[in-house]
A and B are shown apart, each in its own frame.
Chain A
Amino acid sequence: EDQVTQSPEALRLQEGESSSLNCSYTVSGLRGLFWYRQDPGKGPEFLFTLYSAGEEKEKERLKATLTKKESFLHITAPKPEDSATYLCAVLGGGGSNYKLTFGKGTLLTVNP
């Protein structure tokens, strides 16, 4: 069974204080690792897809990296508007269903 563990559960940063969120996973045949941002009362908003170890993707202040066991979401000089819950999900190779397994998320709060 695919498993995803995100840490920390919650993170408070000052504006401009860079940090990283972790996503550890176990999966039988990784077909993709996804990062989403979720604001309160809203559905997840797609950020990145990573497919193989060593891959990196960037978008504004966010950078996602992937190894064989974990992924990091690096946030550089965050702003208050980056406050949200960040979700990690994996798509495994087992079975024919293309379903994602999600972690519980990291609640990020950026104080001005």
Chain B
Amino acid sequence: GAVVSQHPSRVICKSGTSVKIECRSLDFQATTMFWYRQFPKQSLMLMATSNEGSKATYEQGVEKDKFLINHASLTLSTLTVTSAHPEDSSFYICSAQAPEGYTFGSGTRLTVV
């Protein structure tokens, strides 16, 4: 089946620095990818929809200048958390629309200290 690879799986960064998370579709082309955030014991909350070759569509309340999304190719989307603060600590998950449905990456645990 379709596989989405997300990297890194865990990252710890200092407050004020930026962190980049990569999401790759390994065996299919993904014109649309999605970025979610998940808090403990909560559901996945969609942050933005990433479209290849165009600007991302952000959900209401998500700061586009803080969460920069780039979808430069049909197999790669990146999420950059800029000037990270402790409240940005969370579990970030990407997803891609594959031929057989929506496939998710393994997630990235971000801890900002």
- Shortest CB distance A35–B (Å): 11
Instruction: Judge whether A97 and B6 touch: CB under 8 Å.
Output: no
How many A-B pairs have beta carbons closer than 8 Å: the answer is 51
Give which listed residue, B1, B57, B105, B107, contacts A97 with CB less than 8 A: B57
Chain B nearest CB: distance from A90 CB in Å? 12
Q: Is the CB of A103 within 8 A of B43?
A: yes
Contact of B109 among A41, A44, A102 (CB under 8 A): A41
Take A42-B106, A43-B107 as given contacts and tell me if A49 and B43 are in contact as well, using a CB distance cutoff of 8 Å: no
Indicate whether B34 reaches chain A with its CB closer than 8 angstroms. yes
SS of B interface (majority): strand
Of B34, B42, B57, B105, the residue contacting A104 (CB under 8 A) is: B42
Contact yes or no, B102 A43, CB < 8 A: no
- CB within 8 Å of B: which of A27-69? 32, 34, 36, 41-46, 49
Complex interface: chain B residues within 8 A of A42 (CB)? 106-107
Nearest A-chain residue to B92, judged by Cβ = A43
Residues of B within 8 A of A97 (CB): 49, 57
Complexed CA–CA distance, A12 and B91 (Å): 25
Once A36-B104, A100-B102 are accepted as A-B contacts, the answer to whether A44 and B43 lie under 8 Å apart by CB is: no
Residues of A within 8 A of B106 (CB): 42-43
What chain A residues lie within 8 Å of B61 (beta carbons)? none
List 5 additional contacts besides A97-B49, A100-B46, A104-B41; criterion CB under 8 Å.
Answer: A43-B93, A43-B104, A46-B1, A89-B102, A102-B44
* 4 nearest A-B pairs in the assembled complex, by CB-CB distance: A43-B104, A102-B43, A104-B43, A43-B107
Residue ranges of B at the interface with A (Cβ–Cβ < 8 Å): 1, 4, 6, 32, 34, 41-44, 46, 49, 57, 91, 93, 95, 97, 101-107, 109
